[in-house]
Amino acid sequence: MTISDLQSIPVNSALLQFGADEMFVTDAGRSIAQMAIAYQTYGTLNGEKSNAVLICHALTGDQYVASQHPVTGKPGWWELMVGPGRPIDTSRYFVICSNVIGGCIGSTGPASVNPATGLSYGIDFPVLTINDIVRAQALLVDHLGIDTLFCVAGGSMGGMQVLQWAARFPERVFAALPIATGARHSAQNIAFHEVGRQAIMADPDWRAGRYLEEKVRPEKGLAVARMAAHITYLSENALQSKFGRKLQDRTSRTFSFDADFQVESYLRHQGASFVERFDANSYLYMTRAMDYFDLAAEYGGQLARAFLNSRTRFCVVSFTSDWLFPTSESRAVVHALNAGGASVSFVEIETDRGHDAFLLDVPDFIATTRGFLGSAAQARGLGAVSGVKA
């Protein structure tokens, strides 16, 4: 199974397919014809359709939040959090997770076929924003017949989507859980993304974005982009405690450019495994969408206006060792929510596991999520689930 195969036939996913006469117009003023959104659902939608939870994935995530990935065979990327008896309990909630537009696991993106040309879009695909991604998700939620989401949750780029949902569709979001994120991308984060994009575009096999037509892939460039990004997902303490300066399967240095150190071998493995499941052009588009995100700019430079008189319940979560989205970014969101009169709680989790802590077994984070959703469910009046599978 390849990326292009997944684009044409989403594996183990439901698919919302728009017709030829249904155009999705992006913030850049470009149109996408015959847009498709691949998604997964878990649990049962109750009769009142009041127990739906939308999970928004991060930069390199997908719809397989709690089920086996068809390419890698690995468990869902958030199975620690989503499932029966988990904090996002699928015996109580109806969970939706879609592959974002611009992605590469079934939803329309740069690897998809452009119906106007019969060829893959490549970089002719419209540049997207987080707002575009959220508006597409709203069409999926409409398709499922859901007026109000019980909760929208996600970390990193997923957290950006949560904030955009709460700002754009406040009447449709009962509770919001933005994790390890910010209301805009910092200059440092834009810089890291640019390094990754340049690594991809410098690969001779990128072919000006037309590599699928020429039956090659810029695997080396994409692997380097992943390696550089992965460093930002960790923390110095985590790297030091896990790897230190330990050598990889040897007792002495080779005095070469082989992977002498365990940390080198680890990063090379991360890069090599990533290219099996992700499209290089999608990486360009997703990082650019994050770079463009600046929620305050959409509201005259005043972030509080994005949440003015919001009735959504918020729980904002940060991690002490996250230097990609440090706690100061979360505090700025919390201050804006308070200024806008929103109901908000804020938790900073003590951990040395860095930005990726929201994907890992961090007990305080798991307890925070369970507690917030439990309290919100009580306020929402969610009892035992009764209904049919959607």
Question: By C-alpha distance, which of 307, 328, 337 is closest to 186?
Answer: 328
Q: Is 193 a catalytic residue?
A: no
Q: Which of 279, 291, 322, 356 is catalytic?
A: 322
Q: Is 355 a catalytic residue?
A: yes
Q: E strands of 103-249, at which residues? A: 149-155, 173-179
Q: Is 249 a catalytic residue?
A: no
- In the chain, the amino acid numbered 277 is R
Collapsing DSSP to helix, strand or coil, 76 comes out as coil
List phi, psi (to 5°) of 388: -130, 155
- In the chain, the amino acid numbered 339 is A
Residue 170 is given by DSSP the state G
List 343's β-bridge partners, or say none. 313
Q: Which of 107, 156, 282, 330 is catalytic?
A: 156
Q: Which of 57, 185, 193, 355 is catalytic?
A: 355
Q: E strands of the chain, at which residues? A: 14-17, 23-25, 31-33, 36-42, 44-46, 52-56, 82-83, 88-89, 94-98, 149-155, 173-179, 313-319, 343-349, 387-389
Instruction: Take residue 183 and report the two structure tokens written for it.
Output: 């209301």
Under a CB-based contact definition with an 8 Å cutoff, are residues 217 and 225 in contact? no
Q: Please give the C-alpha separations between residue 9 and each of 39, 107, 239, 243, in angstroms, as whole numbers.
A: 13, 10, 39, 40
Instruction: Name the residues annotated as catalytic.
Output: 156, 322, 355
